[in-house]
Each structure stands twice: as structure tokens, then as C-alpha cells.
Amino acid sequence: MSSQQQIESSHQIELTVGSTQYSIHYHDCGSGENVVVMLHGSGPGTTAWANFNGNITPLTDAGYRVILMDCPGWGKSSPLVCQTSRSDLNATILMALLDELAIGKVDLVGNSMGGHVAVAFTLAYPEIVNKLVLMGGGTGGKSLFQPTPAEGIKRLQKVYREPTLENLRAMMDIFVFDPSALTEDMLEARLAAIQAYPEHLQNFVRSQSLYPAQFPDVNHRLAEIACPTLIVWGREDQFVPLDIGFRLVAGIPHAELHVFNHCGHWVQWEKRTRFNNLLLNFLLPE
């Protein structure tokens, strides 16, 4: 979608959750009756738009309304020091947003951290979720085949602590399978987005120090997810290893798994056209 569409779809809303008020930024695209909510990952400087701008138009062209929420601690949403499960908190905030928008049923698409939030939301509000899509995330726990934390997570943490172009490039070199597709303009734009909100970086590091289990392991509850679920992974993901995807497809009763070969942690960008087709085919009524 164009930069003009990005501006036109942008909204800011004040939400009260418990006794806390949050200023939440989101995009609202399309006008269909069926709603798709897309939840971004935890990378420094990311936003829902940055994560998914290449995946919105196929959905709106197919008649869907698409909501992209920036979780607190990212983009234009409120700064946050999180001393509890961030997955559960973000799910609660998403529910407050849907209530304000009078949306009663959604399809959920969660990327990385967004996958954790999507699972937490589905467990808390199962009656709201029609279909669930998880990409490179959804539950915690250690990989059986790779050291924890994964190399990608180590590099991500370094960017949060030392947000330089050199450290960003080192992270992005293994974020995707083929880093030659990443231009200098893309890296510089991402660095500018990181540097625009230094408080977000500081708060993320502090949150992990105060409450290490920001994205808890919910493997023991996966069987409670009753909705149809599509799990999508990159074969060469160096941030969240593929065997976590196997754990999800084994635990969720009505789940299917699609693995893209020669693909890292950014499936919706690296395999955009094929991912968009896969997503649309899954979301269409059976």
C-alpha cells in the first residue's frame, strides 16, 4: 500500500484497561464485514504497518477489513515497562480496541511476538476468533535442536541495547534467508524508526530484566484452541526455530503447518506473493 494510504488509514485512540490508560495507534484498512487483525513482532523499530504493508491489499481487494494495531511499546503507541506477561497484556488491549470499534468477530494473524499475542487472545476470548494464523511464534519453551536463546534473538537484544547501523545490519543478515534483498535505504529507514523512540528500546530491556517471561510457554494449553489454525514458518528461521512450529501443530487440534524453504523469520516479506495466496485461501469460508 502507498504512503498516502498509510496516512489515511492511521488512527490514535485512548483505551482504559483496568486503571491504566493507553494511547494506541492502529491502521484501519478496507470496509468489509469480515475483519482480519494483524499483530506485529517485537523487533526494534517495527510497527504493524512495517510488518504487514505488503500483505494488506490482497485482503482488502478480497473484501476484508484489516486492522493493524501497534502494541504498547512500539511505534506511536504508549511507552510501557511491562512487569507481567506481555502476551496477555497485549491481548487485553486488543480486546479493548475491538470493543471500541464494535467488532465482534475476527480472523487473527500473528507474526513472532504477534503469534504469542494471538494465542493469548484466542485462549482468553475464544468466542471472538474465527480463524487463527501463527507465523514464527505462538508459544514459548526451548528448542530441542538449537541453543536458547537463538542467534537471532541474541542479535536482536544487541540492537535494543546498542542501536547502531552495524548491529542492525548484523541482525537483519540472519533475519531473512537472502540478505542481498535488503537495501541500504531499508536499513537506514529501519534505523531511523528505531532511533525515533529511544524510550521504547530502554523500556523493552528494562521489562525483560524485571519480568523475564514476557512471552510465556503455553504449550500445556494449546489443546484448548478450537478454531482452525494455520501455522507458517521459514525453514531457515534463526530467531524462532522450526521445531516450535511442530510443537504448535502437534498441540492445536485443528492446525495445519506450511513450511517455506529458503526462508527466514520474515515469511510475509520473503515469500510475499505465495504467503498472500496461502493466507487468502485459508481465510476463505470452506
Nearest CA to 238 among 176, 157, 158? 176
Q: What end-to-end distance do the CA atoms of the chain give, in Å?
A: 28
- CA pair distance 118, 38, nearest whole angstrom: 9
Task: Determine phi and psi for 131, rounding to 5 degrees.
Answer: -135, 155
Grid coordinates representing 145 are 535442536
Task: Determine phi and psi for 102, rounding to 5 degrees.
Answer: 55, 45
- CA pair distance 223, 203, nearest whole angstrom: 33
Q: Per residue, what are the HEC states of 231-245?
A: EEEECCCCCCCHHHH
Encoded amino acid at 138, one letter:
G
Residue carrying the nine cell digits 494465542: 119
The active-site residue out of 25, 27, 200, 265 is: 265
188 contacts 89 by C-beta, under 8 angstroms? no
Is 265 known to be catalytic? yes
Grid coordinates representing 111 are 507474526
Return the biggest CA–CA distance within the chain: 48
Q: What H or E segment, with its residue span, contains residue 190?
A: helix 184-196
| Catalytic residue annotation | 265
